């Protein structure tokens, strides 16, 4: 069974089409990153997978269950979302914030069980946040906050996590640290990730599969190393791109030039 199945999906906002006739199947334990220019429909697509947007046509299923037929609590047990701009309440410590990820299991009116608390403690350790457990969320740096938001999603104990630009606002080191943590979760826990990223180099290095979206439609879908070498990538971004192999890792560099000459150049 696929972890995520998207079939003939169309999403509209009033008369505007945000996502158009998208069909994707995502196998368990894989990392799929959606790339594309601003306005391509990336956020709309991942928000629909997480159950935050209404489906106009088609379907989205998580572990075989159509999300349109699930209530919020049922969805939260199947898919977790790390939004681009998470809402973080004031006056809460890190451990209590991460523990919100268990609400789908014990509800709002019941105290967390010993099992819930053990899961939160385990996630804090995996995210290297145990030393921050009693810190006020307002005192955290940007990188620490992002790890905390990811920890809350992991505390939901879902096998699918959706992330919308998880590295926004982070410096290079914290971007790499966060993505490495996610890669470890995929390898060690069989987590399935659907993410959006603007940084094409990071997208190519961490994802197993890239989906290029433009004007709400899938332009390319395939292994990361293949997608970033296709001319369609430059055409969608309307610029020349150069792919440079550095010690086995692909680095995507924008090159000044006329849009009519947009092309992907590859060199080692």
pLDDT at 263 over 70: no
User: Looking at the structure, do residues 33 and 66 belong to the same domain, yes or no?
Assistant: yes
Note the pLDDT tens digit of each residue in 92-139: 999 999 999 999 888 766 777 899 999 999 999 999 999 999 999 999
* Res 71: pLDDT: 93
pLDDT higher than threshold 90 for residue 63: yes
Cα(198)–Cα(43) distance, rounded to whole angstroms? 11
Same structural domain, 245 and 198: no
Q: Mean pLDDT score of the chain, rounded to an integer?
A: 92
Which tokens is 52 given?
A: 């935050």
Domain with 204, as residue range(s), is 4-228
The per-residue pLDDT for 233 is 93
| Pair (240, 216) in one structural domain | no
pLDDT at 261 over 70: no
CATH number at residue 116: 3.40.50.300
Whether 253 and 131 map to the same domain: the answer is no
Are residues 99 and 12 located together in one domain of the fold? yes
User: Residue 248's CB: how many other CB atoms inside 10 A?
Assistant: 7
129 with 246, same domain?
Answer: no
Question: Could you tell me what percent of the chain has a pLDDT over 70?
Answer: 95
Q: Is the pLDDT of residue 258 over 60?
A: no
Tell me if 60 sits within 8 A of 67, measured CB to CB. yes
Give the pLDDT of residue 232.
92
12 and 89 part of one domain: yes
pTM: 0.91
Residues 74 and 206 in one domain: yes
Q: Domains in the chain: how many in total?
A: 2
């Amino acid at each position: 069974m696929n972890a995520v199945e998207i079939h003939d999906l169309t999403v509209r906002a009033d008369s505007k089409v945000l996502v158009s006739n998208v069909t994707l199947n995502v196998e368990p334990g894989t990392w799929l990153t959606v790339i594309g220019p601003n306005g391509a429909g990336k956020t709309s697509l991942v928000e629909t997978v997480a159950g935050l947007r209404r489906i106009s046509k088609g379907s989205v299923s998580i572990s075989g269950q159509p999300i349109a037929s699930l209530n919020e609590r049922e969805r939260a047990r199947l898919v977790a979302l790390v939004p681009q701009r998470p809402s973080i309440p004031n006056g809460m410590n890190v451990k209590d914030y991460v523990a919100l990820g268990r609400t789908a299991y014990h509800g709002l009116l019941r105290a967390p069980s010993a099992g819930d608390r053990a899961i939160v403690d385990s996630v804090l350790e995996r995210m290297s946040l145990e030393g921050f457990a009693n810190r006020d969320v307002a005192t955290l740096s940007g990188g620490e906050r992002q790890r905390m938001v990811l920890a809350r999603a992991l505390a939901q104990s879902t096998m699918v996590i959706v992330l919308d630009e998880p590295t926004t606002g982070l410096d290079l080191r914290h971007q790499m640290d966060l993505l490495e943590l996610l890669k470890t979760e995929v390898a060690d826990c069989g987590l399935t990730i659907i993410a959006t990223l603007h940084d094409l180099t990071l997208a190519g290095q961490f994802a197993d599969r890239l989906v290029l979206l433009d004007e709400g439609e899938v332009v390319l879908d395939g292994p990361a190393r293949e997608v970033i070498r296709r001319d369609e990538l430059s055409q969608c971004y309307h610029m020349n791109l150069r792919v440079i192999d550095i010690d086995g890792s692909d680095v995507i560099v924008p090159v000044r030039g006329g849009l009519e000459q947009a092309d992907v150049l590859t060199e080692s």
